[in-house]
Amino acid sequence: MAEDLKIVQRCVDVVSVKACNEANFPSRSPPNWWTEELSILDVEFLGKIISAMKKRGAKALTLANALVTYTERNLRDLVRDHSGNGTKSLDLDDSDLRSRQREHLQSIVSLLPSEKAAFPINFLCCLLRSAIFLKVSNSCKNELEKRISAILEHVTVDDLLVLSFTYDGERLFDLESVRRIISGFVEKEKTMAVFSGGDFKDNCSTGMQRVAKTVDVYLGEIATYGELSISKFNGIAILVPKGARKVDDDLYRAIDIYLKAHPNLDEIEREKVCSVMDTLKLSYEARLHASQNKRLPVQIVLHALYYDQLKLRSGVDERSTPELGVGNTRHQLQKTDVSLIRENEALRTELMKMKLFISDMQKNNNNQGTSAKGGPRKPTFFSSMSKTLGKLNPFRHGSKDTSHIDENVGVDITKPRRRRFSIS
């Protein structure tokens, strides 16, 4: 009957008009009082009002405010506030309640306006944690992950920690969502760099650099947990492009915390953990700490000491100009690499000459054997060379006084020892 008379639709129209007017011209305090009034409705009717407000040109932020208030009121034990502090004692056995909450959350996500930046990122992170806990559909989770990834430059360490831990904060909860969110943001940055004609590897945006620092600090926060495997730790660290980190001090701190929390790792496992770090990009203080850090593998300690020596030789005060110090050290290493390449090329050339010379000698020996059977031998290279050297011998005439030697007396002529000549 009500549907036939379009009573519901008329109520929706009136409510949407009043909500739009209050959003634009608040009549009382607080200005968002109308969002509290809408939060008592069923989610189905809320959807109709949101749709009507969109048709009347309501701003995305206005709709977002209404949805945030509605979510906080109707999913109170899951999303209490934007810090992610929900109720610690959740009734995990109440399957009916969780089922209703799951449907509620999926309906709310379907009402989110298309503008990615309409919601604060901390609210979206709280919403995603609730979605993971309630085991909502993959499409619902993916939608929330995409929205967070689109505005990840505004994320804080606490926002990422909200996604990673259980509601009581005692154990790691979900790292795959964090990994997908960071990966999506990096892919977006790559695409933007391609369209702008820039080099993504060397020149990362300010947002990418901010995310890199946040991720490194986040790794330091979760590194203390024993259930965090090396593959998961490295899997998140390598998502950030190396060019986004001006210095690796925060990453080194996270690695050091991880090694301290996992003392039973062998040398190979510790090297694997440290493989995500560039020792060249450590500051003077961090490299000094690394050179004395017994938890690090020997190879990393040697690298730190070696780079310190290079910096001392280059005469750069890195404490005042850390980026310049990194550049000069790289230049020094490049010069060393070039000299090694040249030496290798010279050795390779000499080796080829030796092979050709030996090949020529073998051919000459074969020719000598053939000519000995068929006729008089042709002078070889060594025979002609020995004759020439004999003519040039300064002691050939009168070098020894042999006038007193009787021709009939036998002379003990000792055959000289054959010497081995090497061609260098």
Tens of each residue's pLDDT in the chain, 424 residues: 666 678 888 999 999 999 999 888 888 878 889 999 999 999 999 999 999 999 999 999 999 999 999 999 999 888 865 555 554 445 555 788 889 999 999 999 999 998 878 899 999 999 999 999 999 999 999 999 999 999 999 999 999 999 998 877 777 878 999 999 999 999 999 988 888 776 666 678 899 999 999 999 999 999 999 899 999 999 999 999 988 999 999 999 999 999 999 999 999 999 999 999 998 899 989 998 998 999 999 989 888 888 777 766 665 555 555 554 555 555 555 555 555 566 666 767 777 777 788 878 888 877 766 555 555 555 554 455 455 545 544 444 444 444 444 444 444 444 445 444 444 3
Q: Name the nearest CA neighbour of 378 among 391, 363, 367.
A: 367
DSSP 183-218: HHHHHHHHHHHHHHT--TTTS--HHHHHHHHHHHHH
Residue type, 170: E
> Which tokens hold the place of 223?
């590194």
Q: What angle do CA 215, 259, 211 make, to 5 degrees?
A: 5
3-state secondary structure of 165: strand
Domain chopping of the chain, boundaries: 1-87+100-150, 151-277
Query: What's this model's pTM, rounded to 2 decimal places?
Result: 0.71
Contact in structure between 205 and 192 (CB atoms under 8 Å)? yes
Distance from C-alpha of 59 to C-alpha of 48, rounded to nearest angstrom: 16
User: What DSSP element (H or E) covers 44?
Assistant: helix 43-55
Contact in structure between 153 and 207 (CB atoms under 8 Å)? yes
3-state secondary structure of 278: coil
